[in-house]
Chain A
Amino acid sequence: MTVRTAELLMGIALALASLAFMYKSTDGLSIGWVAGSGPGAGAWPFWLSAVMFLSCVAIVIRTVMRITVQSRSDEIFMDREAVYLIGVTTVALAALLLGTYYIGIYISLMVFLMFFLRVLGGHTWTLSIVLTIAIPIVVFVFFEYLLVIPLPKGMSEPLFYPIYDLMY
């Protein structure tokens, strides 16, 4: 995909998103003047989304007319290696979040770190293992102990009972 195509697709996608925002702003809300209470609740997001839509239209028109730098560029938007690197990282992050619901954030973090350091980064086993263990511990101490913000643990919750006993 060239930069020009990407620019065009992005402009269209954002225009559609703007329309969705406009539609959603009218969803049971007033976009005009409400007597006695000023502009309706939907007015602010509706009219701003309308401006968003117009600027997207301008972006698309300028792309079609080849006015902007991007619209004249026939370079590759993302080469194969970039797609792989960004794709794998994004999927790994999504898997980390998905895993959080089931096996809890700590075990997910360990899997994520191991994958990123050992598989993607190609670092030594020693370094990977040390960081995989150390980082979740630091996160635990900081957030659970110092800030008292419990992070989601999913089904791994029972593993933490002995630590809770020590803490509280």
Chain B
Amino acid sequence: MGEILPLLGQGLLESLEPLNLTMLLIGCVVGLFIGAMPGLGSVNGVAILLPVTFLVPPNAAIIFLAAIYYGAMYGGAISSITLGIPGSSTAVATVFDGRPLASQGRADYALSIAAIASFIGGTISVVLFTLFAPPLAAFALRFGPPETFALMMLAFATFVGLGGDDIPKTIFSICIGLVLAAVGLDIVSGRPRLIFFDLSGFYHGVNFLVLAIGIYGIGEMLWTLEQTRGDVQVHKVKTSLRSLFDNLKRVKEYFMTSVMGSVLGYFVGILPAAGATPGSLMAYGMAKAMANDPDTYGKGNPKGVAAPESANNAASTGSMLPMLTLGIPGSPTTAILLGGMIIWGLRPGPLLFTEHPDFVWGLIGSLYIANLATLIFNLAMIPLFVKVLTLKFTILAPVIFVLCIVGGYAPEQSLHDVWLMLLFGVAGYLLRKLDYPVAPAVLAIVLGPLAEQSLRQSLLLSQGEMSIFVTRPLSLMFLLAGVALFIYPLFVAWRRRRRDAARTVEGTTGT
């Protein structure tokens, strides 16, 4: 504790440096906007705007992107409440009670709850983050290649066990990401791998940004174009700034719910497969289950807005914990941040805390500032954002396409990558229509090189004996947890089938 405070102070000071602060403030506003626009969420914003950050040093870049992540979590509530359509998937649960509140003419109240609850969620999770990160990083320093590899397998297993998607499709998604990461020159042998059609563009590999922008930029835009048929419904919304501040005084109505949502969201956010979306849905469910008046949920209960909004902000901070300390992203958005760190020449993982303390603590400090800045921006600019929401999607879409194309070209400066990106975009769109999860692929392409390297190093250590992964206690523990996650959905399905069978038997005997 005594060691953390001075470091945190330094981080806060660093995030207040003029360049960093400017990037932070711009990031918050851009994030709010991205979160509020239906069809764009934090992951889209971070993927599309990552190439833009090549302009500034890594410390400012990560602060900018983290601020977008943060702002988007706040912004999602704006369209959930005023339009009744979630601004991003993370704000789905906010619609349940936010929309009824808005139709009762209390949209301003709902918006202020969302902002305050997000602030509570952000604050609690950042404090938890500050306390957990250094000891976890210190613990992770003991990891050798086998532990790293086992931990990554555990991260992928969470998608199978907790992702809730079709299992063969999830496994396919993980593997294609890992295989795409292997394209290009092999680091160990120097041999070219998977050079399809002898295209020279494959020699520099498939940059994770190509996949991320393809899926979350192009694919997402195609998806939204289809959903909205090129037009976002325009709703008239009235909000008054004056009543917004009166509403702030009613925090105690939903304070405890927000605290609960924050803690739940934080821990759910740490898991790679779960994130802000399931976190906010779970927080909503928990708030409803523990309420004295569950009937009022879905009809405009303030707590029904507070719970998911505090949880999604807390989850976004939670997902940064494994990213910074273990080098395993806790969400697709942090996977892209992690990929960015590799581009900037930083090696993610526990060593980051000792080798680049300014980077880590600057980021942590910026989270505190961003949280406060977003709250203020959010409350002050709600009328403006509501106006922006009426923007036609056919204006936004071409602008995003242009950003994607130019952003996909910038990292390697090869048109080959942009073609590949377009291919991934269309494929990602089609796969998404068939409910293939795409997030595991993005996580896998970022982790792929590291996963392969740690596997090969482990096997070299053990002279080819696979047993190295089970004879080391930590790696055995990770693998066992991974196996448990693999078995879990099968167990659930088996139990359901048995219960259904029992019910049919009961039904036949009853008649």
**B172 in contact with A112 (CB, 8 Å):** no
Q: Give Cα A10 to B168, complex, Å.
A: 13
Q: Which residues of A contact B176 (CB under 8 A)?
A: 52
Q: Which residues of A contact B230 (CB under 8 A)?
A: 85, 120-121
**A58 in contact with B392 (CB, 8 Å):** no
**A3 CB, min distance to chain B CBs, angstroms:** 7
A93-B405, A93-B422, A97-B405 given; A117·B178 CB < 8 A: no
Q: Give Cα A50 to B299, complex, Å.
A: 50
**B166 CB, min distance to chain A CBs, angstroms:** 6
B179 contacts which of A21, A39, A56 (Cβ < 8 Å)?
A21
B402 contacts which of A41, A77, A86, A109 (Cβ < 8 Å)?
A109
- Of all chain A residues, the one with the shortest Cβ separation from B458 is A38
CB contacts under 8 Å to A, within B445-492, are 452, 455-457, 459-460, 464
A25-B194, A39-B455 given; A51·B171 CB < 8 A: yes
- Of all chain A residues, the one with the shortest Cβ separation from B414 is A152
CB contacts under 8 Å to B, within A36-87, are 37-42, 44-45, 48-49, 51-52, 55-56, 58-59, 62, 68-70, 77-78, 81-82, 85-86
**B52 CB, min distance to chain A CBs, angstroms:** 7
Q: Give Cα A42 to B394, complex, Å.
A: 45
- Of all chain B residues, the one with the shortest Cβ separation from A17 is B176
**B399 in contact with A135 (CB, 8 Å):** yes
Answer whether residue A107 sits at the interface, using C-beta atoms and an 8 A cutoff.
no
**A49 in contact with B435 (CB, 8 Å):** no
Answer whether residue B419 sits at the interface, using C-beta atoms and an 8 A cutoff.
yes
Q: Which residues of B contact A123 (CB under 8 A)?
A: 392, 394-395
Answer whether residue A142 sits at the interface, using C-beta atoms and an 8 A cutoff.
yes
- Of all chain B residues, the one with the shortest Cβ separation from A90 is B426
Answer whether residue A166 sits at the interface, using C-beta atoms and an 8 A cutoff.
no
Q: Give Cα A103 to B394, complex, Å.
A: 25
**B193 in contact with A85 (CB, 8 Å):** no
Answer whether residue B290 sits at the interface, using C-beta atoms and an 8 A cutoff.
no
**B398 in contact with A112 (CB, 8 Å):** yes
**B464 in contact with A143 (CB, 8 Å):** no
**A85 in contact with B226 (CB, 8 Å):** yes
**B225 in contact with A89 (CB, 8 Å):** yes
**B398 CB, min distance to chain A CBs, angstroms:** 4
**B422 in contact with A94 (CB, 8 Å):** yes
Q: Give Cα A85 to B224, complex, Å.
A: 11
CB contacts under 8 Å to B, within A116-134, are 116-117, 120-123, 127, 131
**A58 in contact with B168 (CB, 8 Å):** yes
Q: Give Cα A106 to B144, complex, Å.
A: 49
Which of B75-83, B183-191, B362-370 interfaces with chain A?
B183-191
CB contacts under 8 Å to A, within B355-401, are 392, 394-395, 397-399, 401
Q: Give Cα A55 to B179, complex, Å.
A: 14
**A25 in contact with B395 (CB, 8 Å):** no
Count chain B residues whose beta carbon lies closer than 8 angstroms to a beta carbon of A. 59
B182 contacts which of A44, A112, A146 (Cβ < 8 Å)?
A44
Q: Give Cα A122 to B394, complex, Å.
A: 9
Q: Which residues of A contact B426 (CB under 8 A)?
A: 86, 90
**B194 in contact with A24 (CB, 8 Å):** yes
Q: Which residues of A contact B166 (CB under 8 A)?
A: 59, 62, 68
Residue-wise, chain B 214-227 has the 8 Å CB interface mask toward A (1 for contact) of 00001001100110
B456 contacts which of A39, A81, A112, A121 (Cβ < 8 Å)?
A39
A45-B179, A69-B435, A70-B434 given; A59·B222 CB < 8 A: no
Answer whether residue B249 sits at the interface, using C-beta atoms and an 8 A cutoff.
no
Q: Give Cα A44 to B181, complex, Å.
A: 10
**B194 CB, min distance to chain A CBs, angstroms:** 5
Answer whether residue A29 sits at the interface, using C-beta atoms and an 8 A cutoff.
yes
- Of all chain B residues, the one with the shortest Cβ separation from A68 is B166
A38-B459, A45-B182, A101-B415 given; A7·B434 CB < 8 A: yes
**A56 in contact with B172 (CB, 8 Å):** yes
Answer whether residue B55 sits at the interface, using C-beta atoms and an 8 A cutoff.
yes
A77-B433, A85-B225 given; A45·B193 CB < 8 A: yes
Q: Which residues of B contact A42 (CB under 8 A)?
A: 193
- Of all chain A residues, the one with the shortest Cβ separation from B52 is A142
- 19 A–B contacts from the bound complex (CB under 8 Å): A24-B195, A38-B457, A44-B455, A49-B175, A52-B175, A52-B176, A62-B168, A96-B405, A97-B405, A97-B422, A105-B405, A105-B406, A117-B395, A117-B398, A122-B394, A131-B395, A142-B55, A149-B54, A151-B409
Q: A78-B226, A81-B229 are in contact. List 5 more A-B contacts (CB 8 A).
A: A20-B196, A51-B175, A56-B172, A58-B168, A85-B229
**7 nearest A-B pairs in the assembled complex, by CB-CB distance:** A121-B394, A58-B168, A116-B398, A55-B168, A41-B186, A55-B172, A52-B175
